[in-house]
Amino acid sequence: MSQAASRNTDARVRTCPDGSERALSEVYDTALLDLDGVVYAGGHAIAHAVDSLGTARDGGMHLAYVTNNALRTPDAVAEHLTELGIPTDGSDVITSAQAAARLVSDHVPQGARVLVIGGEGLRVALRERGLEPVESADDDPVAVVQGYGGPDMAWGRFAEACFAIARGVPWFASNTDLTIPSARGIAPGNGAAVEVVRIATGAEPRVAGKPLPPMHRETILRTGAERPLVVGDRLDTDIEGAFNGEVDSLLVLTGVTDGAQLLAAPPEHRPTYVDADLRGMLTGQPEVTSVDGGFGCGGWTASVRGEELVLDGEGQAMDGLRALCAAAWTEAGDGTCGLDAGKALSRLGL
């Protein structure tokens, strides 16, 4: 006799993906969607994203776009999404620049000067909070805020940050993502630039973006979501951010996370649901069940044999991955799974 696979003794230690009889777009009132790797990559819409989001929106789900990329303003992001066929208002976009600006405003006086190491998104967000962006450490800033400045960011900008920090000015960062997806592949993100300043100064920034609480606070304040679903492609930002905010999450495999990383995820990186792409918002999610010697989903059974995760049966690739998650996460408990899953993932084409 089979039973639901979840064996959690600690509610915070997830041992398998959840199932849902209803479509996720009906269960949750608001989708908090990451952008890069979820909705688009390199500026182009990811397959099935436009149609899936349109269907979810037409069904009554509120769509909000939550990005750690602090370069562009919300209005610019909304314009881009609208051009892709996803009608969006600037108020539906929440950026790490906004979260950083609120964090800075909590620590400095109204009207204070803030040294900006980044793009227009940061400048607009600071002005929204009543702060004055400046460009030089010699402009007497009371804080430094650093965000993604794009591939053309001049090296001298990092020096300005270092000069101000060396004078005792507090340092804030929009986010610390080491990488960012681009049309040509994975490129250095703001986290890589933050490391440059950290190494040069020995200082530590206060960070606003996902997965930390300031970003979750900003998102909830701006969307008013009551039953949010975080939708993302990154375990260490999107999924961990949902974990920290104690809300459910959907991981889609259209971005940087692959099957092996998912199976090895520690508890804070384990999503509530797993699917191939944004079509997963429009459907129910199959239940993973405990079966003799392993975990079943669809036509697949996953189990542990020696030092290996083994997959038997056949069916949809995502069902096999869900079953493997249950086997791996149960084996790992509150740690990480180091079992070899290479052959099992190859069977699924992952």
Please answer whether residues 126 and 116 qualify as being in contact, where contact means their C-beta atoms are separated by less than 8 angstroms.
yes
Q: Is 258 marked active-site?
A: no
Please answer whether residues 176 and 67 qualify as being in contact, where contact means their C-beta atoms are separated by less than 8 angstroms.
no
Spatial separation of the C-alpha atoms in residues 199 and 177, rounded to whole Å: 16
**Among 10, 18, 34, 106, which one carries the catalytic annotation?**
34
The three-state (H, E, C) secondary structure of 274-313, written as one string: EECCHHHHHCCECCCEEECCEEEECCEEEEEECCEEEEEE
Strand partners, 145: 116, 172
**Among 10, 18, 29, 36, which one carries the catalytic annotation?**
36
Cα dist from 21 to 26, 53, 171, whole Å? 10, 20, 47
Spatial separation of the C-alpha atoms in residues 331 and 338, rounded to whole Å: 9
Q: Is 43 left (phi over 0), alpha (psi -120 to 50) or beta?
A: left
Tokens 């986010």 belong to which residue? 175
Which amino acid appears at position 188 of this protein? P
Residues 6+ positions from 27 with CB-CB distance below 8 Å: 20, 227, 229
Spatial separation of the C-alpha atoms in residues 212 and 338, rounded to whole Å: 27
Q: The tokens of 174 are what?
A: 């929009």
Q: The tokens of 298 are what?
A: 């669809």
Q: Is 319 marked active-site?
A: no
Buried b (16+ CB within 10 A) or exposed e, 267-281: bbbbbbbbbbbbbbb
Please answer whether residues 304 and 312 qualify as being in contact, where contact means their C-beta atoms are separated by less than 8 angstroms.
no
Q: The tokens of 180 are what?
A: 């960012």
Catalytic residue numbers read 34, 36
